[in-house]
Amino acid sequence: MSDVLELVDVSVVRDGRALVDDVSWSVKEGERWVILGPNGAGKTTLLNLASSYLFPSTGTATILGEQLGGVGTDVFELRPRIGMAGVAMADKLPKRQTVLQTVLTAAYGMTATWHENYEAVDEERARAFLDRLGMTEYLDRRFGTLSEGERKRTLIARAMMTDPELLLLDEPAAGLDLGGREDLVRRLGRLARDPFAPSMIMVTHHVEEIAPGFTHVLMIRQGKILAAGPMETELSSRNLSLCFGLPLIVEHTGDRYTAHGLPLS
Ligand SMILES: Nc1ncnc2c1ncn2[C@@H]1O[C@H](COP(=O)(O)OP(=O)(O)O)[C@@H](O)[C@H]1O
Ligand SMILES: [Mg+2]
């Protein structure tokens, strides 16, 4: 299987500090990765590298076979091959646009709709993705009026619109209530288990948000990788405790995970 993402000795340095510190990591086609780590660990920075919007200070990053900054690599050709859903994106999208328009504009790589004539086939695709995310009833609602959960589901549908080979999700369940989270986990699980769905990388703080079908986990702390590999072996109490800096117990029940601290003694 070919590499979807390959980082070799990658550091991202800002103001003399390594936000990502000498990271080597590879994601193969079809894998579904979860990135876990505390606030400020460098998770979003890793996703920004994977989305080609950020270049390494040192080391090499190769995405879908194209090396960032390499001869012959055109990031403008690469970017439509990567779907990204994160809060930074939500802020850039016009609030007055409808949900359907918000998803449709992704097909044209822009954040506004004016002067565009969309093909019927694009609209059909947009409707289908929104339907998969449970957003059919909201097609004509303005993006700015959506709840947190509805907005996140719209962004995921939008990220799917270019038929990406790599799908990046930055804390898709953050801010959702329990029902919203469970609904999203179920939908992401369906996507993760779909053999025709893109390779996926999802950032989260909570093991409860890991949908069944995710295959690998990377743990990062202070820009350094603590563990990276298959979920069954790497998502251990030991690794999670090291990652978050306190004693934690991970439990695996059915096809879901939970984590909690040790009782006071
Ligand atoms: N452009 C930047 N310049 C300087 N520091 C930054 C920049 N972007 C992020 N950081 C810092 O880098 C660290 C990692 O950020 P980030 O990747 O967003 O963490 P996470 O997503 O894991 O919470 C944080 O301490 C953050 O404040
Ligand atoms: Mg982040």
Q: Do 7 and 27 form a contact (C-beta atoms < 8 A)?
A: no
Q: Do 57 and 13 form a contact (C-beta atoms < 8 A)?
A: yes
Nearest Cα residue to 102 out of 164, 155, 169, 172: 155
From 11, 17, 19, the mutation candidate for ligand 1 (largest count of ligand atoms within 8 A of CB) is 19
User: Which atom of ligand 1 is found nearest the CA of 38?
Assistant: 22
**110-119 pLDDT tens trace:** 555 555 666 7
Q: Do 156 and 85 form a contact (C-beta atoms < 8 A)?
A: yes
Nearest Cα residue to 192 out of 220, 218, 169: 169
Reading the block at residue 186, the tokens are 């179920």
From atom 3 of ligand 1, which residue's Cα is the shortest distance away? 14
Ligand nearest to the CA of 174: 2
The residues spanned by each domain of the chain are 3-261
Taking the chain (265 residues) in runs of 10, the rounded mean pLDDT of each run is 91 97 97 97 96 96 95 90 85 92 80 62 92 95 93 93 94 90 94 95 96 97 98 97 96 95 81
Q: Do 235 and 256 form a contact (C-beta atoms < 8 A)?
A: no
pTM for the predicted model, two decimal places: 0.93
From atom 18 of ligand 1, which residue's Cα is the shortest distance away? 44
**202-240 pLDDT tens trace:** 999 999 999 999 999 999 999 999 999 999 999 999 999
Ligand 2 centre distance from Cα of residue 71 (Å): 30
From atom 1 of ligand 1, which residue's Cα is the shortest distance away? 14
**30-39 pLDDT tens trace:** 999 999 999 9
From atom 2 of ligand 1, which residue's Cα is the shortest distance away? 14
Ligand 2 centre distance from Cα of residue 42 (Å): 7
Angle, nearest 10°, between helix axes 148-160 and 178-192? 10
* Structure confidence at residue 112 (pLDDT): 52
Ligand 2 centre distance from Cα of residue 88 (Å): 10
Q: CA-to-CA distance for 213 and 82, rounded, in angstroms? A: 20
From 36, 45, 225, the mutation candidate for ligand 1 (largest count of ligand atoms within 8 A of CB) is 45
Residues with Cβ within 6 A of ligand 1? 14-15, 19, 37, 39-45
Mean of the per-residue pLDDT values of the chain: 92
Ligand 1 centre distance from Cα of residue 195 (Å): 33
Q: CA-to-CA distance for 205 and 224, rounded, in angstroms? A: 16
Q: Do 183 and 101 form a contact (C-beta atoms < 8 A)?
A: no
Domain 3-261, what architecture?
A: 3-Layer(aba) Sandwich (3.40)
Q: Do 192 and 200 form a contact (C-beta atoms < 8 A)?
A: yes
